[in-house]
Amino acid sequence: MNTMKKVFSLLLSLLVISGNSIAQTAVDSSVPMADKLREDGKIWVVVAVVAVVFAGIVINMLRIDSKVSKIEKELNIK
Amino acid sequence: MRKLWWKIVCIVLLFYVIVNGFMGTVPHLPILNESIRNTYFHVALWLAMTLLLFTSMIFSVRYLNSGDIKHDDIASELAKSGLFYGILGCLTGSLWANFTWGDPWPNDPKLNGAAVGILIYLAYILLRSSFEDEQRRARIASVYNIFAFAVFVPLIYILPRLTDSLHPGSGGNSTFGSYDMNNDLRMVFYPAIIGWILMGLWLAELRVRIKRINRLKEENFLEVQKSSRS
């Protein structure tokens, strides 16, 4: 179980790091994309909004999880 | 809380998907433009849903083999998670279609198949609520679940390929493999699938635990009643 945790966390960190080395692909510049939005830096607003919403949901889920754990401990369920 | 590690993996993966979903490079395709990024959300949700429903069916089979109510608990909650993702998938797909295909619900066989699939699983939940006895409910619901999944797969995957369809991979359109899925997309797409599956499993696990707590409380309550009467 412990080795699996180590392997998983290694894989995870590799994944996150590799996300920064974005591969080069043939860019067809005739297709309109939101590059201007990204240039202005405004896209980060969108990312921040979605990330905040998701963080809220996740925190809520973690709280429910710990509440259920507490009750399980009380009732002595495995 | 039970086994925190995969929940942390889920959270990390989904944060990665959210950030790279907006900031990562994507192929420049006409009509789709930036909305190709929906692949990480809409398509990944549907794939996660299929896996959740498949696992639900497996647990239904296990229940029929073993008679252990715990298997039926898991089967029913996984089906509910799958259904939740199905509804989200339909809503997100409709939203996406509105801006790319020009119509939120074109008469596309995959969409209609998806709607029928959702109705089938809603009927599953209805079926469960119509029984009082736990074991009978579990048995009939398990059989229904197996048939439901057996019908669901052809509806969503096989039928659309046989007829004209707007969806990629169906009705003469090129599949995911060719030019609208390249390595840039894959790097975020695969973690997205795993992330959404883990989140569906997490939601199901929470509900299963609450169900079991309630069942234990009920059993204790009945025990106390019995002992106070005797």
pLDDT band at B161, cuts 50/70/90? Answer: confident
Any domain includes A16: no
Q: Express as a percent the part of chain B with pLDDT over 70.
A: 93
What does the pLDDT average to over B18-29? 83
- Decide if pLDDT at A69 tops 60: yes
Name the band, by pLDDT with cuts 50, 70 and 90, for residue A24. very low
C-alpha–C-alpha distance, residues A30 and A53, integer Å:
34
- What residues of chain B lie within 8 A of the CB of A8, using their CB? 5, 9
Higher pLDDT, A14 or B152: B152
Binary contact (A61, B206; C-beta < 8 A): yes
Residue A21 has pLDDT above 70, yes or no: no
**B82 close contact with A: CB closer than 8 A:** no
In this prediction, residues B91-109 reach a mean pLDDT of 84
Comparing B127 with B172, which gets the higher pLDDT?
Answer: B127
Instruction: Kindly state the average pLDDT of the residues B95-112.
Output: 84
* Number of compact structural domains in chain A: 1
| Structural domain contains residue A63 | yes
Which domain does A69 fall in, by range?
34-78
Give me the residue from B9, B188, B203 closest to A12, CB to CB.
B9
What average pLDDT does range B175-190 have in this prediction? 71
- Shortest alpha-carbon distance between residue B82 and chain A (Å): 18
Residue closest to A21 by CA, chosen among B83, B63, B171, B24:
B24
In a domain, A3, yes or no: no
**Domain parsing of chain B, residue ranges:** 39-215
DSSP state, A31? Answer: S
Asked if A69 lies within 8 A of B2 by C-beta distance, the reply is: yes
Q: Does A15 fall in a domain?
A: no
pLDDT digits (tens, 9 = 90+) for B51-83: 999 999 999 999 999 989 999 999 999 999 999
- CB within 8 Å: A43 and B23: yes
Q: What residues of chain B lie within 8 A of the CB of A77, using their CB?
A: 212-213, 216
- The reply to whether A19 falls in a domain is no
Of A35-39, A57-61, A65-69, which gets the smallest average pLDDT?
Answer: A35-39
pLDDT computed for residue B171 by the predictor:
53
Residue A71 lies in a domain: yes
Task: Give chain A's count of helices (H) and strands (E).
Answer: 3, 0
Instruction: Answer whether residue B166 shows pLDDT above 80.
Output: no
- Least Cα separation, residue B154 to chain A (angstroms): 34
